[in-house]
Structure formats: structure tokens, C-alpha cells
Structure 1
Amino acid sequence: MKRLIALALTMFMIISGCSKGGTQTSGGNVAEVQEYRTVYSGEITTLNYLVTSTTNEFALAANLVDTLIDYDKYGVPQPCLATEWEVSEDGLVWTFKLREDVKWVTHEGEEYAEVTAQDFVDAMKYILNPSNGSGTANIAYSVLKNAEEYYNGEITDFDQVGVKAVDKYTLQYTLKEPTPYFLSMLTYVCFFPANGQFLEEVGDKFGTDNVNFLYNGAYIMEIFEPQNRRVLIANDSYWDKENVHIKKLVQTYNKEAATLAPELFLRGEVDYATISSDILDEWMSDPEKEAMVRPNRTSFYSYFYCFNFDPRFPEEYEPDNWKVVVNNKNFRKSLFHALDRKAAMLTAEPYDPEKRLSNTITPKNFVDLNGVDYTQLKSLAKFANTDSFNEKLALEYKEKALQELEGKAKFPVKILMPYNTGVSDWANRAQVIEQQMENLLGTDYIDIIIDPKPPTGFLQEVRRSGNYAFLECNWGPDYADPETYTDPFSPDGTYNWPHLAEGYKEANGKNTYENMVNEAKAERLDIEKRYKLFAEAEAFFIEEAFVIPYAVGGGGYSASRLNPFESLYSPFGVSGERFKGQKVLAKPMNSQEFTEALEQWEKERAEALKKAANQ
């Protein structure tokens, strides 16, 4: 066996860019009462972190349950529930030594059990039981030996799956193939622990409320009243409680949260508010308000517009007609080149829209190959360096589509485009896109129908139900490899429609994109070859206009009593969602303070990564 820490830390030097994280200390600007209050409009549907795949749900879980490793303020992996780890010479067996005397406690803070290696085994057994409906099982079985076979019922003995408790404090994972990014997967929810005895006791009630839940993380959910409020309090039994400075998190539900939060912030009733583009000018022109506003950091969430190849929306929106036109490449290309992404982004980022725009699905600065950014590899570079908006091409593809679809489709094509009313700039963006694309392509060609939907249940009602034709979607990375941005487009992924596109099936029964991705996945040792294969697959996906890449997440502006540079930093997993290490500020950070802090953080991070690589 060889120690992995130096290898793992070296790997993280490939991750760069801006996301959550930071370094600055609050100095004397610390609130006397360490309580952080927010309002929200999108209610969670479960606390069961073993089944969820949605950001707002695993963001909660991140503060309630700890993971094997974590990341510090600079993105360097750190011990958490595991104090050390090793990997075998062949890269297949990973062994973790657990921290002793870590406690599971109830919602009342009463000790239930000690956290042991078996908790990780029991959690994985739950995840790999298809009847439990885990939304992240595919991530786990993509790497663990025999996990997919067990999930599919091809084997029934769980002992054959590559996870076992060697002893009380020793956990071992065996992989199906060498996976250089495995460590970076361990802060994702499918690798969280769960106490097996408790799972058996509560059964289907696990995660339905704060009572049917165990805590080993920084916080306990004291109060859980859906569509009213959630209150998290610091866990007195937490192993690292000296680094938990905020003692209470109060999250209040209000369906108008996005609209009301700025005023509530001014009144001192909440400690965070998004300052949306429609009020940003007003805040920036008022000296008192301007002193409270700062930019947000961009993230590695990728935003793109999806074409739905499996329409399941009401007949009034003509799903059968949509299915005909969406399977015409020239029709998709006409929309691909007609979307003015900068005009759309101005609804969210009026001062600096370019910093958010992205021409690829995998964002720039996510990983690199020997100093060359992944997005500059092979054919992907053409898309990365070219704005997809092109009026001349849009009209040329429109004419080609009209010729090919004559007598086969009805025009204008109804294009159902829902949006989430809980995101203030999304409504504005939907209107901008409707007007801009219809003006360019003509209302004789397309009729974009914008459809407001409530934030609670939006994913289930719209995206997962196929209740859209054209939709703004997003995906965040789960680990440090380009493969993570292909996961949603696999046949069993979140956006599982690309394999339904007509005209791409190859001899093995799978479509071209799936075969290209599978070839890239199969290359486990030659990283250069692996990355180039993924780049070619992504370039094909964009070339065929299965999606329209749009932007990266984050950005915008906020008024906040948190210093983002005190937060844990990681482009993937849940570390960046944790409040551990942060302090509530006495007064908000302004834009100048943010810029100075960001510059200092970037310098310190470069030094931290260099130091980690040399360990």
C-alpha cells in the first residue's frame, strides 16, 4: 500500500477558477450574536440524503452529516470522518481509517450510536437497492466493484460489492477499475454514512422529517416545519465543534422570498438577499445600499438549454409536432444559433454578462491537461472559442429545416418553455428569449410559449416529467473529471432523452454520443487520451445541437453577512454548502472588500496547492 495524500493533493492542482470557498478572516467585523437568518421559496421534498439528487436537499444534508474527507478554504482535501487513507499500487483498493468516538445523535441531541465503518456499508446497501429510488446510485455503481451488478439483480450477495468494514474503524472500497478521481467523489451524497440499525427501525420514514433522522455533522435540525421554517442548531456532540461559529441557522419559507429578501435585509430581519438585476441599479445608486452589495463568485454549475426528445406535455402544446421537429437537426441548429446568450444573461448580470457566458457544457478552468484547459482540446476548442449566436446561420438553418419538414410538421412550431417563478431573473430571461428568438426567426416559424411554474416541486413537475419542449437546465460536477458532465445525458441520467434522438443509433443499438462517452470512460490510465475522447464526445453533442450551452452558475450580486472567503471550497460534492468555519459579520462586505479579498484568496490558494503538491 502507498500513502495517497500527496497524490490526491497534486490532483487538485488541476482545479481552478472561482466558486465557493475562501481565506479571509472576519477580523473585528463579527456579529455579537452568531445566528444566520434567511428566507427561501423552494421547499425540499425529503431529508433523505441517500435518495436525493437536488442541490437544495443535499445542501441541507451537508450541514447535518459529515463525510470521509472534506476540503479546506483553498480546495485542499482534509481529513474529516477519515483521519488517513491509502490506495493499493494497482489503484483499486482504497482503505480509510476512521476517527474514533464520533457520535450519531437524535434531533434532541441524545446519543444514539458511534459512527463506524459499517455505517458506510449500510448506507451503500440502501443506495444500491433499486426499490429505494436513489437518485445517485449510478454515481456509486459507476466506480464500485460489482455494485452495478448488484443494483441490476445480477448478483444478490452484497458481500461481493466493493465496500466492506474491515473492522470497526477501517473502511475499504474496491473499485471495478482504477479511478484517479475517486477521492473527489467522497463528498457527494452517495458516499455519506447512515446507521443501519436506525434505517431498519424507521424504515420508509427515514428522512421524512427531522425526527426520523440521525446527525453526526455540525448541526442538528431542531425544527422542521415545511412551508414555514427550519431551524438548525450547533451540534454540541460534534467532533469539531470549535470550528462551528454560527450557533443557529434560521430558514423561513416565503413563496415570495426572492422579491421580499432585499427589503427584509434592509430591515435587519435576514442576513442574506440576492440583489436581482431589476433592483441592482437602484441599490448601486444609493450610497447606503451600495455599501451592502457585493458580487457573487461564479461556480462550476453549467447552465444550458435542453431540447426534449421525449415530450410529455399537454396536447394543447402539440407534443407530436414537437417530436417531429426536434428530431430535425437543422431545426435544432436554427434555434442553437438564434439564442442571443448575452441578451439573456443581461437579465441576471447587467454589469458584466461576459464573465458568466459559457460555450461548452464543461466550464473552462475545471480541469486541464498538462496546462492546456480541457475546453481547448480537440474539436471542443472550436465551440469554446466561438459565440454560438449567429443570425445569418440561424436563418440559413431555418430555411433548410422548412424544406426538410415541408408536409411533415406544422408551423409555427409551439415551443413550451416553462420557468421557475422562485428565481426572479428567470421570468425576465424567458420573456427576453421569447421576444428575441421570435423576432429573429419569425412568428411564422416558432411560437415560444412561456409557462410560469411554482418553485416547490419544479424539478419533478417539469424537468423529470418531460413537461417542456425547451428548458433552461443545469448540472454541477460531482468529481474531478470531465465524465461528471456527461452523467446527466446517459440513458439512466437526469436528462435521459439524448439516446431517444432519431437517426443516431449505431450497430450495437446505442446512439453515437453514448458510444463516444463509453469509449472515453473505458480509458482509465491514459489521462491524455481519456480527456481528448471526452472532448470529442462533448464537441459532437454540441455540434448536433442536443443542447445550447449558456452559462456558468453563481455570479450576480448579493447583500450578505457572510464572508465567502471563509467558506470551504470545492467545485463538486457538498463541502461548499457547509456553514462550518464561517462567522456572521457585523456589517456586510461591500464590492471593494470583495475584490480585495478575492485577490488575496487567489494568491493564498496558489500557495496552498503548491504546498500540498510537494507533501
Structure 2
Amino acid sequence: MSNFESRMIDRRSFLKAAGVVSAAGILAACGDKSGSTSGAASGATGSVVDNGGDPIQNLVTWELSLREIQTWNVLYSQNAADLNVLCNCVNGLVTNNIYGQFVPDVATEWSQNEDATVWTFNLRDDVTWSDVNGEVKANLTSQDFLVGLEWVLNAKKNENMNTSMPNNYIVGAKEYNDYTNSLDAEEAKALTYEDMLAHGVGIEAPDDYTVVYHCTVSCPYFHTVASGACLFPAPKALIDELGVDGFLGLDNTTMWYTGPYLVNEYIQNNSKVFVPNPNYFNAANEARFESVTVRIIDDLNVGFQLYDAGEVDEMDLAEAPASTILSDPNHKYYNNVVESTPKKYSYQYHLCFNRMNEDGTPDENWNKAVANTKFRQCLMYGLDLLDSFKRVNQLKPLDLENLCYTMKGLCAFSDGRDYTDRVIELLGYPKSDGQKLRRLKDITQLKKECMEELSAIGVTFPVTLYHYVKAGSSTDGMLVMQQIFKDCLGDDFVKFDWLNWISSMDQEIRQPHLACWYGVGWGADYADISNFLGQEILHDENAYYAHEYSYIAEVAEDPKDYQKELLEQYEEFTRLYNEANAIVDDTDARYEAFAKAEAYFLENVLCMPNYYEIGLQLTHVNLYSKINTLCGIAAYKYTNWETSTEAYTADDFAAFAEAYEASKGV
């Protein structure tokens, strides 16, 4: 699941979405909740803080304009900006609680056979589909999961979005996906779930409230796959009503809801308003707000003004207000600055290997430079990003430094070692001494060798690296990055420059291949390393970043001579990945093989790890009462949040953290 970010510092830090791609579902019964519109809930932490405030009934929160929702069809999206909205509208089989544990959602329970190749999910019988007005339209049954899977696997319906997980793990899924790819559009769109079953796809519905999946290999983590959008249900009656194209292009007024909220008001690039779904099946166990308003803002400085005016209930702090507050012990917010809990995303800089100029011609100077391993290593090991981290977290900036591609906390070896620790070990990074860890190479010599190699093939210096930000947003972060490039690598080598996009980063910049790199984060859809590394491999149309950001898949179709070494590295990484992914009977051996593949990927700087989201906030929300997960889509679900009309303090958060840790496993 991609968490799209084009800016270095303006990003939302809500809840810990720890671990792999981050999290699904609803909070299972966590105390006795009888009301369906309560603005707060004690959660598993208990009401450990009484700061004199009352629970908030009508929450107002925020989102950045560059993260406006792009689609209302949960089956189509692989973007966190969409799923952070839709997790409040629709439900899957499995979700997570505040500790990241997998708990029932639409499924009441699940089981597996002895070798974990057959998974059975028993469904609730009280889940209904409602329209935006709260009118019940249909009961949710096992058929909806058949319809949903056929939609995902049908290349002409869902445009091959969200197919990687079912293709990898469900019997016959890839074959059906390939079959629909081979058909013309109208023929494929006419297919139904019965056609999918006739082609041998490994899903069955023995009765209205049982769904069974057959896996191609032993898959002990398949229940975590079920927390992701790829296995979500779809109502056949709605598709029949809207048609295939209409269903693909759903909006908040035409979609049907199963979740805790309806979105009864949506003004693009302005706001969304959530109100309780009167037919929500788990209303007795999930406290909800009377309303939730999400305001769209251009940057965090504007957000602080809204918070200061009492117009939003939580806000990340940009550099300027954070500096002002923390430099003055008498400031009214001095005691209210808190460090956010880490989100589930591992952020990277994704390099574009097939950049185009604005006139549509190839940017040969950049493309030649970025295909050179030493050039990429200069970026990786030469850039010291500490000053950019300080803009986000002045208290503990090195908490943001990310050294791996995969999110830490997602997977662990049987002895308890985190998978990412093994990757770092294989990379040979020293133990932290409080300074940047990646500065391992003699950049001066590396830069000299790089410039000689590139000059020999016609590259002119400095090479310009183009980055894009939304027009009208703050340029402070870009100025800091420009200075970092100048100080660390020199103006004679590479020049950092930025340009603007107006309304759609995706349409204006990414699709025409205009940016040289993108700051993007990935959160796992299920609890296995393959969900991270699989986005980068060759020869797989489901490899998201290979097709949508680096465009290495395009390079592989028509490589230039100067890209030969780059493609050889990608081929070797893909080979290492496939070897690791083929190990299904020994988890430790699987993780070790993946760690070697990831270390190779990073040694050759096919992508640059960047940061974790651990910023500073002012908030009326106890972050520890939110769903915490590394898999699935539910981390932004507005249920069972503990809130107060009085802002929380750092001392309050220390008490929340202590109670949270003490209650784990209770």
C-alpha cells in the first residue's frame, strides 16, 4: 500500500501504523460500549488521564491537499490516501486492535488446515450494505466476496490493481487474471464470478456465511492478507445497477457502505464529513463520533493556525511553530508538544530511471546519470538528511532515520530478532553513535570516479535533479534540501531543483515521468516481506513501484547501452527475491533469503530509504487509543478514540504510553 508523499516535511502523523503495510479493521470489543455516538472511549489503556476535559463529540481533523482521495472504490486503490478514508466506510474479513493483533471484522472466526493451504472464514449474518442516506440496500453474504475477488482479478474491470496478493497466493488467480488480460474489454467486463469459479480460482462459498480460500503454497499468514483491500467484498446488485464503469468510478454518493460511517458531504480539496452509519453491525462495541470532519489543508503552517483558532482537534507541527513553541518555556503550548507514535510506513526516495522532459523527449542527462551505480551511491551515502529530519522532529530527529526498505516491526525471526536488524547487519552499518549511520564510503573519491565515468558517455554537470511540490505550498523544505545537496555533494556534481504541480501530482507529474525522484512510503498489506520487496521486481506487472514510479519495467522493454548494468542489478535482485519467495516451509530461511535480497537492492541503491513518520503534534486525541497495525487498511478508523476538549500534555502521553505497554497481552 503506497502512502504518497511528494513533499519532504508536510505530512500527517496520526497513529502508529507500525509494522508492515499497516493495518486493517475495527477494534474488537474493548470494554462495554453501549452508545453508538459517544465521542470517546477508554480503550484498552483505560481512562488513565483526567485533564478536566470532556469527550469530543464532533471531531475535526485534517489531511494534506496532496493526499486528497483519488478513488472511492476500495478494490481499486493501493493508495493510503484513499484507504484512510475508505476504512471508515467498508469492512473486510479481518482487522486489528490497538495492539496490532488480528481480530474479527466481517468474519467471526477463521481456521486453516494442517499445512495452511486452505483457509475458512465464517461470516457474521448481520452485516448490511447501506447507501449514503442510510437506507439498507442488501445483506452482505459470502457471494459478495466471490464478486469482489472476480472484480480484482478481472484486468479489464480493475485495471490490474490489487492483484499481486491473490495472484501469488490463491489457486488459479493468476491464470484467471492472465485470461482476462487476453480478452477485449467488453468481453472481459461481461464475465461474472461464476466464470471465475469455472476457471478454477480457489475460492468457494459453501453457504451464505462461509468463504473458503485455497492457497497455491503453505501460507500461514493468509489471514493477514485478508485484512487488505484485495479480498474485500463487492455487492453484485450495485455493479448491476451502475455497470462496470460506473462501479469503478464510484463516489461517496453512489457507493454502498458497511462501515461505521457514511460520508454524506464531500467537497473535493476542501472537506469530507463522516456521520454514523445507522445500520453498522458493530455499533454496540465501537464508540463513534457524532460527526468527523476532515479538512483539507495545503501545509502544516496553515494547519497550526487552524489548531490555534480551535478549528481542528489535532495537528502535526511544522518547523516554524515547533521552534517557536519549544524555544519558549512560557509558551501556552510548551507542555502540549508530544511525539507521535510511529506510523506503519517505511518511506523511500524512488528514483525515476526513465525521466522525460516536459516536451515528452527523454532526459538523457538524468537517465544516464541515474543508471550509474556510483552516482546513486553518492546520493545514498553522501546526503546527510539530519537537517530535514530536524524540521519534522526537533526533539529526537534521528528517530526518523530509516536504513531499510522494509518497515521495521513487520516480521521477526524465531529468536525474536527483527528482520530489518538482519538487513542492517548484512549492509555492514556500524552501531549508532548518535550520528548518521549510512556515511560509509569516501564520497570524494566516489564522486570523482563517477564524474569520470559519466563524462565519458556525454553526461554534463551538474546533473539536475527535479523534484515537484504543490503550487502555493511552503518551499522551506525545498530550500533545506537544496542546501543539503550543495553542502554534501557540491554544485559541481548535482543540482537540486523543484517545480510545481497544480491539482494532481499523479496526472501532472508522475504519469508523464517528469520527476527525478519521489518521496513515497509503503505500508504492508499483509505480514510478509514479499509485500514490500515484491513492488520492485522485474517481469511482474503487479510490481507497483517498478511500473508506476521508477519505470524500470519500461526500461527493461527497450534498454539503452548505458542501462545494461542497471538492468543486470535488477535481474539479480529479482532472482534473489524469487528464491526467497519460493521458501515456504522454513520461516527463518525465508527471512534470511529476503534479507540478502534487500541488502543487495540497497547496496546498489536501486532505491533510497529515507524516513519514518515520527513527528511532533498538538492534539486532543490519545494516539494510543487508535488502531495500531502494520497490515491492512484500518489504522485511520475513527472508532473508540479517547479524546478530550482540553489538549493533552507530554505528561499525559507518558501516562498513556505506560498504560498501553502495561496492558499489552492482558
With normalisation by structure 1, the TM-score equals 0.89
Distance 1:198 1:235 in 2: 18
Asked whether the 8 Å contact 1:375–1:381 carries over to 2, the reply is no
Q: Letter of the 1:574 partner, please give it.
A: I
Q: 1:423, CA displacement in angstroms?
A: 11
Q: 1:315, CA displacement in angstroms?
A: 5.6
Cα gap change, 1:383/1:200 in structure 2, threshold over 3 Å: closer, same or farther? farther
Which residue pairs with 1:35 in the alignment? 58
Asked whether the 8 Å contact 2:304–2:321 carries over to 1, the reply is no
Asked whether the 8 Å contact 1:93–1:175 carries over to 2, the reply is yes
Q: Letter of the 1:472 partner, please give it.
A: G
Q: Which of 450, 456, 461 pairs up with 2:508?
A: 461
Q: How does 1:52-201 map to 2 (within 5 A)?
A: 52-131=77-156, 132-153=158-179, 157-159=195-197, 160-201=200-241
Q: How does 1:440-519 map to 2 (within 5 A)?
A: 440-454=488-502, 456-491=503-538, 492=541, 493-496=543-546, 497-498=551-552, 500=555, 502-503=564-565, 511-519=571-579
Cα gap change, 1:457/1:162 in structure 2, threshold over 3 Å: closer, same or farther? farther
Q: How many residues align?
A: 587
Distance 1:226 1:504 in 2: 41
Deviates more, 1:312-321 or 1:280-289: 312-321
Asked whether the 8 Å contact 2:426–2:596 carries over to 1, the reply is no
Which residue pairs with 1:245 in the alignment? 288
Distance 1:368 1:550 in 2: 22
Specify every segment of 5 or more residues in structure 2 that has no aligned partner in the other structure, as ranges: 1-17, 28-42, 183-190, 556-562
Q: 1:316, CA displacement in angstroms?
A: 10
Cα gap change, 1:384/1:145 in structure 2, threshold over 3 Å: closer, same or farther? farther
Asked whether the 8 Å contact 1:19–1:297 carries over to 2, the reply is no
Which residue pairs with 2:39 in the alignment? none
Q: Letter of the 1:190 partner, please give it.
A: C
Which residue pairs with 1:322 in the alignment? 366
Distance 2:462 2:392 in 1: 28
- 1:212 matched to 2:272? The reply is no
Distance 1:165 1:109 in 2: 28
* 1:90-129 deviation digits (Å, cap 9, x = unpaired): 2111111100121111111001011101111101111111
Q: How does 1:189-588 map to 2 (within 5 A)?
A: 189-203=229-243, 204-206=245-247, 207-242=249-284, 243-254=286-297, 256=298, 258-284=300-326, 285=328, 286-314=330-358, 319-369=363-413, 370-377=415-422, 380-383=425-428, 385=430, 387=436, 389-390=438-439, 393-421=442-470, 427-454=475-502, 456-491=503-538, 492=541, 493-496=543-546, 497-498=551-552, 500=555, 502-503=564-565, 511-553=571-613, 555-588=614-647
Q: Letter of the 1:360 partner, please give it.
A: C
| SS class of match (1:298) | coil
Q: 1:379, CA displacement in angstroms?
A: 7.1
* 1:540-579 deviation digits (Å, cap 9, x = unpaired): 01111112212112x1112222211111121121121111
| SS class of match (1:177) | coil
Cα gap change, 1:184/1:313 in structure 2, threshold over 3 Å: closer, same or farther? farther
| SS class of match (2:59) | strand
Distance 1:19 1:101 in 2: 27
Specify every segment of 5 or more residues in structure 1 that has no aligned partner in the other structure, as ranges: 1-14, 609-615
Cα gap change, 1:146/1:178 in structure 2, threshold over 3 Å: closer, same or farther? same
Asked whether the 8 Å contact 1:380–1:536 carries over to 2, the reply is no
Distance 2:130 2:359 in 1: 51
Asked whether the 8 Å contact 1:145–1:176 carries over to 2, the reply is yes
Asked whether the 8 Å contact 2:22–2:345 carries over to 1, the reply is no
Distance 1:85 1:318 in 2: 51
| SS class of match (2:608) | strand
| SS class of match (2:442) | helix
Cα gap change, 1:191/1:384 in structure 2, threshold over 3 Å: closer, same or farther? farther
Asked whether the 8 Å contact 2:21–2:526 carries over to 1, the reply is no
Asked whether the 8 Å contact 1:419–1:452 carries over to 2, the reply is yes
Distance 2:60 2:344 in 1: 26
| SS class of match (1:410) | coil
Identity of aligned residues (%): 25
Cα gap change, 1:483/1:380 in structure 2, threshold over 3 Å: closer, same or farther? farther
With normalisation by structure 2, the TM-score equals 0.82
Question: Which of the pair has the greater relative contact order for Cα pairs under 8 Å at 6+ separation?
Answer: 2
Distance 2:348 2:19 in 1: 21
Distance 1:398 1:414 in 2: 12
